[in-house]
Structure 1
Amino acid sequence: MSCLFGVKEKMSEEQTVSLIDILEEDEELEEEASAVLAGSDSDHCSYPQGYVKRQALYACNSCRPKGGEAAGVCLACSYKCHEGHDLFELYTKRNFRCDCGNKKFTELKCKLNPVKEEVNALNKYSHNFSGLYCTCSRPYPDPDDQVEDEMIQCVVCEDWLHGRHLGRVVPDCVELQEMICESCMNKNPFLWTYAAHLSVSGAAVQVKEERDAEESNTNLSTKDEKGADVIEPSCKRSREEAAPSCRLKELRAIGQQRSQSGAVFWPSGWRSKLCSCSTCKDDLSGADLSFLLDESDTVLAYENKGKTNEQRQPGHDPLMSALDNLNHVQQLEIIHGYNDMKTELKDFLQRFAEEGKVVTPDDIRQFFEQQSRKRRRDDAGCF
């Protein structure tokens, strides 16, 4: 999932999908859900935690009065307080406090944490909270858009933009990179200096200046010689002189330029190469960009945390909830039966997956008829 909102897929009725495709897609969806949702608490409102560093958020279109103020609710409140409502899934946002039940909701009271301040003054809102995205301000999915396109989140404004509206060609392996949209780059011009030295090779030049792409084909992960010469000497001098230098000033002095248009893509670890001198820290704080110095702020870090939490604290199985109302003997009988059927179904489907065949309704019907006959034989043997 990383920084991708999704790719709309359109398949004709004549197309078929093999079971192996279905199994792989199902596994990917489970991993994405674990990455995004497991990083947030599904049982307790996040409001007592204050402005959470990053969490999954939703905007309720059912509870928002027409023309009312934007509001966001946490994962738990989307389940407990807004079940069955028309919700806009916002993916994740940083430094946000749950609004559920505050004065922005005229009738709704939060079931999980009813005592809340009237407003959360530090929350930031965008047109995403109205179900609109990108510079084109369209909904997602867009019923009127017939173009297959991916949506990518800007790490600064956290809006989602269509790949075709970024003003540049989307690079390969975009899942491992962060993007800052052109609007946010222009609002913070110093970022263009960093972009000339640290951004993914070909940023924007593939669209407007192909000749410059050959000259500035840098790759941070492999650290070409020019990039190393830019950064390493400043570190050595700072150690020798025991006085911190400003990396941003050094990069400006070099004078390397790039086209200041289009979105900018940044490789993994680029934040650690930003200057952290006291002046730059103050400037970042003044621009409300201090989070750029925090590598744990990234969506990738949040997703990895979610996957780890999911592995440590797996969700409660609905089957086990149902078993709580049965006696011990009944529980054992159902568990054994369930495990046997699950194993047999997995083996049955695996044959189709290995051969790349499509499972038909007749195949599924045949499997359960066999299970039914087997169960009748077992019951007859017991009696």
Structure 2
Amino acid sequence: MSEEQTVSLVDVLEEDEELEEEASAVLAGSDSDHCSYPQGYVKRQALYACNTCTPKGGEAAGVCLACSYKCHEGHELFELYTKRNFRCDCGNRKFTDLQCKLHPEKEEVNSVNKYSHNFFGVYCTCGRPYPDPDDQVEDEMIQCVVCEDWLHGRHLGCVVPDCVELHEMICESCMNKNSFLWTYAAHLAVPGAAVQVKEEMGADESNTNLPNQKEKDDDVMEPSCKRSREEAEPSCRLKDLQAIGQKRVQSGAVFWPSAWRSKLCSCNTCQDNLSVAGLSFLSDESDTVLAYENKGKTNERTQQGHDPLMSALDNLNRVQQLEIIHGYNDMKTELKDFLQRFAAEGKVVTPDDIRQFFEQQQSRKRRRVDAERFYCT
């Protein structure tokens, strides 16, 4: 086996742990036992589309995590990761031959739900499936904060920053539909190779930032009536940024750092404009996927604290509890020693090796039982 093909046991365990953590982050934030429909339009949840029940050419529909398990077992499902403000469609008018097993009483349609080509298993501006059997390029998919479509990094029209999982992204199409975002981007966005900043001021003012501009404005004498109005009405941060005149080339997707939402203007006019544009969620930091994932991880840790095996131990007497705990610790120690030998010798652990280990465990257990019988007679 070549060096490139060799995978150590540590690599396997680390990858498995990473996958489990990712699954917990996404799924633990959603209920796997009860249909989410009674909750209405859920702020954010894991969603799936069923290609078996709603194939391309029909109406797009999405189902919650619990329904994907209970109502669509064995079906071809598209994993949509998470979507915001969505109500489970399972069993409504869009599913002509299926009734929801968990919550059969549903309205015909959920009019507030938003759908995209993702619900038919295609993504990005290229409209390809994921994973794509015909795409030989290794490229990660990144979700747009606004339209929630998934796009290939190479199709974003910009350089993807390092530690991309810590940033939010808004695709070029959504930026152009909401052009005021370009003003924020010039001041708040993550710098990248595709960013070109221009100044509409003179060279001596090129380093002017928002606080300095405010100080400059404070030095100008203004009528007292105007100052009174400004004190009564909070200034618009968006207008202040526009007044600075700093521009950004308006092309490509934009990446935003953590906490950038808290820096958006919160004046009444801007809040109304966000609402009209359907972007009120941008002022809510708990709307982020990262906040949802952290909630999922917290839920998973809480559930792990109620281990059913530990609950079963509570029903045993003290002697039985000690026997089981000692037996478990002995097996864990022996398994660790067993695997360390393979790691030290650089050998790959095979299923036969694991089978042999547990056969030896059973053999030792039988010898201990026989010995106890011998000494008891």
For Structure 1 versus Structure 2, the TM-score category normalised by the shorter chain is 0.7 to 0.9
| Aligned length, in residue pairs | 356
Offset from partner CA, 1:130-166 (integer Å, 9 cap, x none):
0000000000000000000000000000000000000
Change (3 A) 1:196 1:277: same
The answer to whether the aligner puts 1:83 opposite 2:73 as a matched pair is yes
Please tell me the residue identity of whatever aligns with 1:200.
V
**Secondary structure of the corresponding residue to residue 304 of structure 2:** coil
Please name the residue that 2:223 is paired with: none
Q: Would the aligned equivalents of 2:62 and 2:88 in 1 still touch at CA under 8 Å?
A: yes
Structure 1 stretches lacking a partner, 5+ long: 1-11, 216-224
Change (3 A) 1:238 1:363: farther
The answer to whether the aligner puts 1:229 opposite 2:174 as a matched pair is no
- CA distance, structure 2, for counterparts of residue 109 and residue 315 of structure 1: 35
Change (3 A) 1:170 1:19: same
1:85 Cα shift?
1.1
Please tell me the residue identity of whatever aligns with 1:88.
F
The answer to whether the aligner puts 1:200 opposite 2:190 as a matched pair is yes
Please name the residue that 1:108 is paired with: 98
Offset from partner CA, 1:74-104 (integer Å, 9 cap, x none):
0111111111111100000000000011010
* Greater CA drift, 142-151 or 347-356: 347-356
* 83, 86, 104: which one aligns with 1:93: 83
Task: Output aligned runs, 1:266-285, within 5 Å.
Answer: 266-285=256-275
Q: Would the aligned equivalents of 1:19 and 1:356 in 2 still touch at CA under 8 Å?
A: no
The answer to whether the aligner puts 1:253 opposite 2:260 as a matched pair is no
**Secondary structure of the corresponding residue to residue 371 of structure 2:** helix
Please name the residue that 2:8 is paired with: 18
- CA distance, structure 1, for counterparts of residue 17 and residue 169 of structure 2: 26
CA RMSD between the two structures: 3.4
Please name the residue that 1:220 is paired with: none
TM-score (norm 1): 0.83
Please name the residue that 1:182 is paired with: 172
1:378 Cα shift?
1.9
* 333, 346, 354: which one aligns with 1:364: 354
**Secondary structure of the corresponding residue to residue 313 of structure 1:** helix
1:317 Cα shift?
6.4
Please name the residue that 1:72 is paired with: 62
Change (3 A) 1:170 1:65: closer
Change (3 A) 1:308 1:228: farther
Please name the residue that 1:55 is paired with: 45
- CA distance, structure 2, for counterparts of residue 354 and residue 186 of structure 1: 57
Q: Would the aligned equivalents of 1:151 and 1:161 in 2 still touch at CA under 8 Å?
A: yes
The answer to whether the aligner puts 1:153 opposite 2:143 as a matched pair is yes
Q: Would the aligned equivalents of 1:230 and 1:251 in 2 still touch at CA under 8 Å?
A: no
1:367 Cα shift?
2.1
Q: Would the aligned equivalents of 1:204 and 1:264 in 2 still touch at CA under 8 Å?
A: no
Identity of aligned residues (%): 81
Q: Would the aligned equivalents of 1:204 and 1:263 in 2 still touch at CA under 8 Å?
A: no
Please name the residue that 1:29 is paired with: 19
Change (3 A) 1:146 1:174: same
Please tell me the residue identity of whatever aligns with 1:138.
R
Please name the residue that 2:130 is paired with: 140
**Secondary structure of the corresponding residue to residue 63 of structure 1:** coil
Change (3 A) 1:338 1:69: farther
- CA distance, structure 1, for counterparts of residue 6 and residue 229 of structure 2: 63
Structure 2 stretches lacking a partner, 5+ long: 200-206, 219-226
- CA distance, structure 2, for counterparts of residue 320 and residue 82 of structure 1: 32
- CA distance, structure 2, for counterparts of residue 123 and residue 202 of structure 1: 34
- CA distance, structure 2, for counterparts of residue 361 and residue 72 of structure 1: 39
- CA distance, structure 1, for counterparts of residue 350 and residue 213 of structure 2: 60
Please name the residue that 1:307 is paired with: 297
Q: Would the aligned equivalents of 2:208 and 2:244 in 1 still touch at CA under 8 Å?
A: no
Offset from partner CA, 1:194-240 (integer Å, 9 cap, x none):
000000012622xxx5xx59x9xxxxxxxxx8656379869x99998
Q: Would the aligned equivalents of 2:210 and 2:241 in 1 still touch at CA under 8 Å?
A: no
Please name the residue that 1:295 is paired with: 285
Q: Would the aligned equivalents of 2:144 and 2:169 in 1 still touch at CA under 8 Å?
A: yes
- CA distance, structure 2, for counterparts of residue 176 and residue 365 of structure 1: 42
- CA distance, structure 2, for counterparts of residue 356 and residue 301 of structure 1: 40
